[in-house]
A and B are shown apart, each in its own frame.
Chain A
Amino acid sequence: MDNQNKSKSKLPYIIIGAVLLLVLAGVVIGTGVLGFGAGWLSAQKPTPTPIRVYKSTDMQNTTAPANLPPGANPPNQSGSPTASVTLEEFADFQCPQCAAKHPVINEVKSLYGSRIHFIFRDFPLDIPAHDKAYDAAVAAEAAGMQGKFWEMHNLLFTNQSAWTADPNYRQIWGGYAQKIGLDVAKFQTDMAGIATKSRVDADKQRGKVLGVNSTPSLYINGVSIAFEQMTFDGLKQLIDAELQKTAPQAPPANTANTNK
């Protein structure tokens, strides 16, 4: 009888230990920590399917909104405007996932160069947690007024955690402006002006009509890309496929020469 009671009193501890082991195993396998499990997890993931939204070269078959606004004109762009593949990114400078994807996008841009047309669209989210996002977009546009949009854009993303946590963030941006060689007085004036805000609003309006509701949102030739596919390899695969469609003779990019 005593033995029966003893074994019964141990039972909850055995169950608790088993649950703890299960949880730890779940975390190890799920995160791939200790080098175990990540491959298994990724193998289980279904391949994300891009959602067709619109295609600028095939407008008669498009599902694009009829009144799709053009966004800021000229857009913040790099690469070649005549390239057959266009990447259009809608991002928020205060969004951590956008900052996380920033190096990936840069890597893709440097890999393809003028073989793609990259357009960055401001899409500051209207939420209290992103209280500096609109101003940050305006700051980038103000730098753009002096031809330094990309420099400011890079600084805002790479130092995101520093300025988002600082109540004197505008001073920090003033420091960035100085660092990239802007006329700081003009930068401050442009930040307060209507022209920069109009550009941000125009980009945002385009995103809203397109149905952008989270950032980063990325379109390749008008096709919305799933977040899971916004990796270097995922984007490369999609861009190569688009390049082959439009110019079958063009060889796919060689990553070996460009990986940093």
Chain B
Amino acid sequence: MSDQDGSDQSSGAIAKLPLAAAFVSLAGLADAVYLTVHHYNAEPVPCGAAFDCEMVLTSPYATVGGIPLAAFGAAAYFIAFAFALLAAFGNRRTWSLFGIQTTLMAVFSGWLIYVQVALIGAFCQFCLISAATSVLLFILFLASVVFNRRTA
């Protein structure tokens, strides 16, 4: 069997961690698309009593060059989903790329949490869900690294 594009399909088994990561990425993608649609419709999102979504989502930190951060988030989650799914089907190279990407996403999510806490002084639950999703993806990748080292 050929191993073009870095595939390792000898086992044919769907890897569990990358598959879980693909599903988590889909959740993050749905959250980001929801926020993007609300941004372009100029509509407030339903917000819990402990949150102030409008304050966060209409702050200067919510857009870059007029494009909502949520749109960038949606693109990032879609790419993460694609990498994770390909990895689930045996492509090891995309799992490494997934690892690099989710590390950056987790770091960026940390910065966004800092912005909400220290600069805006308000929280948006959809932003927190996105941050949790990013961190979970990173944890899944770390778990795969640890698991591989133990079994090597």
Residues of A within 8 A of B (CB): 5, 8-9, 11-12, 15-16, 19-20, 23, 26-27, 30-33, 41, 95-97, 100, 125-129, 164, 213-214, 227-228
Contacts and interface: CB of A to CB of B under 8 A. Distances in A.
| Chain B interface, DSSP helix/strand/loop, else mixed | helix
12 contacts: A8-B12, A26-B33, A26-B37, A30-B37, A30-B41, A96-B58, A97-B42, A97-B44, A125-B55, A129-B59, A164-B60, A227-B54
Question: What are the nearest 10 A-B pairs in CB distance?
Answer: A30-B37, A129-B59, A31-B40, A12-B89, A127-B121, A96-B58, A128-B119, A12-B85, A16-B82, A227-B44
A128 B120 contact: yes
Interface residues of B, number: 34
B118 interface: yes
Contact of B121 (A128, A164, A228): A128
B86 A129 contact: no
Interface of B: 1, 7, 9, 12, 26, 29, 33, 36-37, 40-44, 52, 54-55, 58-61, 74, 78, 81-82, 85-86, 88-89, 118-122
A97 B55 CA distance: 10
A11 B36 CA distance: 29
B40 A127 contact: no
Contacts of A31: 37, 40-41
Contact of B58 (A8, A11, A95): A95
B82 A213 contact: no
Given A16-B82, A30-B33, A125-B55, 14 more contacts: A8-B9, A8-B89, A15-B85, A16-B81, A19-B81, A23-B29, A30-B37, A31-B40, A31-B41, A41-B41, A97-B54, A128-B118, A128-B119, A227-B44
A97 B12 CA distance: 53
A19 B58 contact: no
B74 A23 contact: yes
Nearest to A17: B82
B129 to A, nearest CB: 17
A5 B29 contact: no
B119 A16 contact: no
A86 B59 CA distance: 30
Given A8-B89, A127-B122, A214-B52, A23 B42 contact: no
